[in-house]
Amino acid sequence: MTEQLAGDAHDIEVAHFAAATGAVLVTKDEDFTDLAARGILQTPLLWIRLGNMTTTRLWALLEPSLPAVVAAFEGGEQIVEVRKETFRTA
């Protein structure tokens, strides 16, 4: 998405763009959970709660959870939260 949106795009702009393109929004930003609670976010949200780390380390932690994450979204969950050793739906 970063190629299509300005670096200073507001969260609502990002949310609308994700919905318009059918994307799953992946973020560490808690503000998007608020947009979901208010009915503004109309796309699935993968909320990363793993702290600061390199992309390589993040992917190593996230990749084993992907089948469960996909299953949760396919089961109708709008928000999936990924933590260090587990994920949970919100």
- The tens digit of pLDDT for each residue in 12-21 reads 999 999 999 9
Q: Decide: 42 and 24 in contact? Cβ < 8 Å.
A: no
Q: What is the mean pLDDT of residues 10-38?
A: 92
Identify the domain containing residue 59 by its residue range: 11-89
Q: Domains in the chain: how many in total? A: 1
Residue 4 lies in a domain: no
Residue 73 lies in a domain: yes
- Given a cut of 60, whether residue 78 has pLDDT beyond it is yes
* Nearest-angstrom CA–CA distance, 50 and 37: 22
Q: Decide: 84 and 70 in contact? Cβ < 8 Å.
A: no
Residue 58 lies in a domain: yes
Helix (H) or strand (E) holding 89: strand 87-89
- Number of Cβ within a 10 Å radius of residue 75: 8
pLDDT score at 48: 92
* Nearest-angstrom CA–CA distance, 60 and 13: 30
Name the residue with higher pLDDT: 3 or 22.
22
Q: What is the pTM of this model?
A: 0.83
